[in-house]
Chain A
């Protein structure tokens, strides 16, 4: 077990393409860190550089205080779980899991004991003598985990280990990965493009975009205090709503009407020297059906009318979608997010807003309704830089 330090790590390919630029991450011993971002953001490249499967162009990688840049993967004492599992098809489950130990020249009795232990933890005892071809996806995934844990390495690297599983199994495996990591207490770096996995699994999340670290922090902190538009839009599902807005004399004119800024938002905006034109971000859960909000709260927020276009009733909550006039928020961060979500180029008249309402709400599809949102929870972003103007570290 050891801490992993990436000190200004950079990856530049032979053709000049910059995959990872100046990444600084300090991962504490036993910590579970998630690298998340859209495809092509450099998260897998970063993981491969920690593994030693790709060379580091610049900067330094230290594991347990020792420089690792020039060491071969086998000398780094770290285990990796691949997206495709990469099980050896000609070996049984037992042989697959024993392979790292055999290479390390561990004696037979110890190999047997460690494989049995790992199989017990992962519930694979009944399958030890089967070949990978005869296992289900979830079992193969567990064998891949088993091969990583038998050796008790300094760290685990996981490259989207759950993305090949179906949704239900993915949910189950997510909790068991989390439990396993707590049980073993091994430093883990986990790559995913799934923001749910990022939110639920890690102690800390590193959001990457175009090879640059956008923000590092605990999942809840990233959710509440995104450093920029990209993090705000990437973390959270359904995503934060972004609307163009104009700051004027302490009030904000938005497609949802003119809103008086609360003290917190105004102070933050002033401190950040906010431009006149900004982007307002509101999370879906900060909206509510106005008829369900008590009078005191109504005064603290802003109310507006809208025509509900789509209503999704999830049982415990309702998602109401509507469009607002007044144009769309534009920023390079948002374009990237749209490209990742596959919605780039979808013609859009105005902005789509999604709200999360209580199940008790009586709004109906196709009917006008009165909505309320909490103006103190509003976040303001600079359209040019994408920076969060209302960012605060507390």
Chain B
């Protein structure tokens, strides 16, 4: 093991601090702005001179934000659930089975992941309008699933490859049907991978702005990232900076909770002890 000298430690600490500050300053700035009163919002001080929760009160007083929040949560959760279930089955097949067209399937999903989404917005807009999907939940859920699936398949098949093949054979010998072997042996072991994937997919859906702004028109399906664009102040001349910041803070909370909640389940080395080595 390399010896960590004091100089090395100081250097690393400085680098760490720089990275953390660089990443956190905008977040803290947003947090600070959301707690400033209307009068002091432009004063430029990092710590609010006058603490106020008025911005939060404001965003929850209008229906728009609440509806957008409900849309965001609903659409993201449904898209995540479907993408993870489909992704799990596809990834399992890719990791375990040899079937004709496997390479083509993997290549195709890679193609989907690399496709520039912006080039699809206009065709999708036309298609969804003629199919009456425009400005509906399924209208966002479907493209989210499409673009989240390659991500889910790649992450999950990596996890499935880690699970020793012999465990499944052992389950079969112990009297399990293929479905029982999957449910009682493979699925519990793949759980960390499934949760990791779920987090990634959820964040992807939650953060999406491009589809949300293009494929929605009303509060019926508009998600928070899109709804923020439509925030207005009390009058046309008032800048809604405070409310936007408050909304940004509010929509960050579910992501933080989501990660904190599932982080415990992402235990590295869960399969250790299954086989020698």
Which residues of A are in contact with B by a Cβ distance under 8 Å?
51-53, 72-74, 78-80, 82, 84-90, 99-100, 103-104, 131-135, 137, 140, 147, 151, 157, 164
Assess whether A86 is in contact with B188, with CB atoms less than 8 Å apart. Answer: no
Q: Is the CB of A133 within 8 A of B164?
A: no
Q: In the bound complex, do residue B276 and residue A164 qualify as a contact, i.e. CB atoms below 8 Å apart?
A: yes
List CB contacts (< 8 Å) of B198-235 with chain A: none
Question: Which chain B residues in 104-152 approach chain A with CB under 8 Å?
Answer: none
Contact yes or no, B273 A132, CB < 8 A: yes
In contact, B172 and A79 (Cβ under 8 angstroms) = no
Contact indicator A84/B174 (Cβ below 8 Å): no
Q: What are some 9 contacts across the A-B interface (CB < 8 A)?
A: A74-B172, A74-B176, A74-B177, A90-B188, A99-B184, A103-B176, A132-B274, A133-B272, A133-B273
CB A302 to nearest CB in B, in angstroms, measures: 49
Within 8 A of A (CB), among B174-203: 174-177, 180, 184-185, 188-189
Min CB–CB distance B190 → chain A (angstroms): 10
Q: Which residues of A contact B175 (CB under 8 A)?
A: 74, 100, 103-104, 151
- 8 Å CB contact of B276 from A84, A103, A134: A84
Q: Is B18 an interface residue (CB 8 A)?
A: no
Number of chain B residues close to chain A: CB under 8 A: 25
Chain B residues with a Cβ under 8 A of chain A: 164, 166-167, 169-177, 180, 184-185, 188-189, 270-277
Q: Are A86 and B273 in contact (CB under 8 A)?
A: no
Are B189 and A84 touching (Cβ within 8 A)?
A: no
Residue of A nearest to B172 (CB): A73
Q: B273 near A140 (CB under 8 angstroms)?
A: yes
Nearest B residue (CB) for A164: B276
Chain B residues near A72 (CB-CB < 8 A): 172, 177
Q: Are A53 and B172 neighbours in the complex by a CB distance under 8 Å?
A: yes
B176 and A140 form a contact (CB under 8 A): no
With both chains docked as a complex, state the minimum distance between the C-beta of A342 and any C-beta of chain B, in angstroms: 22
A4 to chain B, nearest CB (A): 15
Residue of A nearest to B169 (CB): A53
Known: A131-B273, A132-B274. 9 other contacts (CB 8 A): A84-B164, A84-B166, A85-B274, A86-B164, A86-B166, A86-B169, A89-B273, A90-B189, A103-B180
Q: How far is the CA of A45 from the CA of B188 in the complex (A)?
A: 29
Minimum Cβ distance to chain B for residue A16 (Å)? 16
**Are A90 and B270 touching (Cβ within 8 A)?**
yes
A140–B170 CB distance below 8 A = no
Distance of A51 Cα from B171 Cα, bound (Å): 12
How near does chain A come to B235, taking the closest CB pair, in angstroms? 60
Q: Is the CB of B270 within 8 A of A79?
A: no
Residues of A within 8 A of B166 (CB): 82, 84, 86
Instruction: For A85, list chain B residues within 8 Å (CB).
Output: 274-276
* Cα distance A282–B85 in the bound complex, in angstroms: 65
Chain A residues in 8 Å Cβ range of B172 = 52-53, 72-74
**Residues on the B chain within 8 Å of A164, using CB:** 276
How far is A103 from B270 in the complex, measured between Cα atoms in Å?
Answer: 23
A residues near B189, Cβ cutoff 8 Å: 89-90
User: B273 contacts A99, CB within 8 Å?
Assistant: no
7 residue pairs, one from A and one from B, having the closest CB atoms:
A133-B273, A84-B275, A132-B273, A86-B170, A100-B174, A86-B166, A89-B274
Q: CB-nearest residue of chain A relative to B170?
A: A86
Q: Closest residue of chain A to B189, judged by CB?
A: A90
CB pair A51 B274 closer than 8 Å: no
Whose C-beta in chain A lies nearest to the C-beta of B165? A86
In the bound assembly, the distance between CA atoms of A73 and B276 in angstroms comes to: 24
Q: Which residues of A contact B277 (CB under 8 A)?
A: 84
CB distance from A14 to the nearest CB of B (A): 9
A157 to B275, alpha carbons, bound, how many Å? 18
Q: Which residue of B lies closest to A75 (CB)?
A: B175
CB distance from A389 to the nearest CB of B (A): 44
Give the shortest distance, in Å, between A50 (CB) and chain B (any CB): 11
Q: When chains A and B are docked, how far (Å) is the Cα of A1 from the Cα of B180?
A: 26
Tell me the nearest residue of chain A to B163, going by C-beta: A89
Q: Which of B166, B185, B270 has the most CB atoms of chain A within a 10 A radius of its CB?
A: B166
Query: For the complex, what is the distance from the CA of A90 to the CA of B163, rounded to whole Å?
Result: 12
Report Cα–Cα, A157/B277, bound state, in Å: 22
How far, in angstroms, from A89 to B268 measured CA to CA in the complex?
13
Known: A82-B166, A103-B180. A87 touches B273 (CB 8 A): yes
Which of the residues B167, B180, B270 comes within 8 Å of A86, measured between beta carbons? B167
A278 CB to closest chain B CB (Å) equals 45
Which of A99, A131, A132, A134 interacts with B174 by CB under 8 Å?
A: A99
